[in-house]
A and B are shown apart, each in its own frame.
Chain A
Amino acid sequence: MYNAKVIIPGLIVAVAVFTAPFWLNIGSAPYEYPAVALPVAKDGIACIEPVEWMRAQHMTLLNTWRDQAVREEKRTYVASDGKEWNVSLQNTCMTCHASQAEFCDKCHLQNNVQPYCWNCHVAPKGNK
């Protein structure tokens, strides 16, 4: 092989760099799901949709809510259980989820997700 004394060390370094995340994390604590501050269920209603679905799909729901309210003038959401909700982040979601720091930010910060909701929308007063 030509230039083996350069290529082989180079390959070793490249493999080491690409697999570094695995080596560096050996022995570190396992990933812990952030403990978000869940609001107390009111009248037996945990959230507008099943909690498992909300955890996985809340961003989809919020995007759809935004477009339906602002662009389609459909400002009432009929949930799967038939209950009607005002389509509004500030006036519906945040009446229960009253703390950005203890609810939204818990997962978003840990997973380095930076939604831009709060650039405009008023963050819940529970923060202060």
Chain B
Amino acid sequence: MEKSRRDFLKTVGLSGTALSVVGLSVASLSATGLSAVSPSAAAPGSATTAAEGVVPEGTIPTVQGRYITSPTQLTATRWAMVIDTRRFTTKEAVAKVVNACHREHNVPNVPSAMHAVKWLWEDTFAHSFPDDPNPYLPDAVVHGNFPLLCNHCDNPPCVRVCPTGATFKQEDGIVVMDPHRCIGCRFCMAGCPYGSRSFNFRDPLPFIDDVNSAYPPRTRGVVEKCTFCPERLAAGKLPACVEASDGAILFGDLNDPESTVRQALAQNFTVRRKPTLGTGPGVYYII
């Protein structure tokens, strides 16, 4: 079968025209709701068992919901914490606040140190304040227990390295972790000089003894850390560790001279962890 160039072009042209006519007529039919394939024509009355589950198109009401800051929200321009280490002389004292935090936030108790997850933990003086400490310090200091947690830095390295914006700094100074966006790259763990971040190498659920159903646990493959309890601040409550500490941990607005933290800072000599790194930690320690 021999076909000339002329015949070929004729066929192509005719086919194209026919196709576009069909396409246009289908489109106009659907637009006017007359087409048999339009879902709106099929929906009303066709479902028998769950008739109220069927809504004809175009009858869905519009809504005008708004989002506001909770009326009970505690606000500050810079949240900060002061920890009175003189009140944490025993391991039990530290364990009490650690347990309060970990129970509240469903932090798994993974036995393997390699896979451990921690929001609030304790360590020795040498590990907590490694910046060339003075020799001949009191035994109580050198052998003391220091509750450690995320420092909610002014200039947080974890935020700078996070590729997805999963961790970010709020206007009130809290460095928040949004696990929905965490891809588990662990750059933040490399960036944080305080070891405040833990990775869920394993599914955490089997390691949570009593799941607090008011707070979501995390899943395998995301990083987590202390959050300064924004969900409690929204409800008008102080962070879980502050509440459990009987006054040994203070929490307040660093920019408010009347706040408890500012008064504690004015009356006591305090130190912060690794200040030379320039991260501007928001957690102060009374030694």
Contacts and interface: CB of A to CB of B under 8 A. Distances in A.
Contacts of A34: 50, 53
Interface string A42-67: 00000011101101110001001010
B46 A30 contact: yes
A91 B180 contact: no
Q: How large is the interface on A (under 10, 10 to 19, 20 to 34, 35 or more residues)?
A: 35 or more
Contacts of A57: 60, 63
Q: What 8 A-B pairs are tightest by C-beta distance, nearest first?
A: A74-B67, A33-B53, A33-B50, A119-B219, A75-B234, A68-B67, A78-B66, A76-B70
The main secondary structure of chain B at its interface with chain A is: loop
Nearest to A116: B219
A120 B170 CA distance: 23
A70 interface: yes
A120 B216 contact: yes
A122 interface: yes
A79 B67 CA distance: 9
Contacts of A5: none
A66 B211 CA distance: 21
A33 B73 contact: no
A64 B66 CA distance: 11
Interface string A12-54: 0000000000000000001011111000000000001110110
A77 B214 contact: no
Interface string A83-115: 010110111000000000000000000000000
Given A70-B176, A70-B178, A49 B234 contact: no
Interface in B166-187: 168, 170, 172, 176, 178-180
A80 interface: yes
A52 B59 contact: yes
B65 interface: yes
Contacts of A70: 176, 178, 180
B231 interface: yes
B230 interface: yes
Given A32-B49, A90-B215, 8 more contacts: A33-B50, A34-B50, A56-B60, A71-B168, A72-B67, A75-B73, A78-B65, A86-B70
A50 B67 contact: no
Contact of A120 (B70, B176, B179, B214): B179
Contacts of B46: 30
A49 B60 contact: no
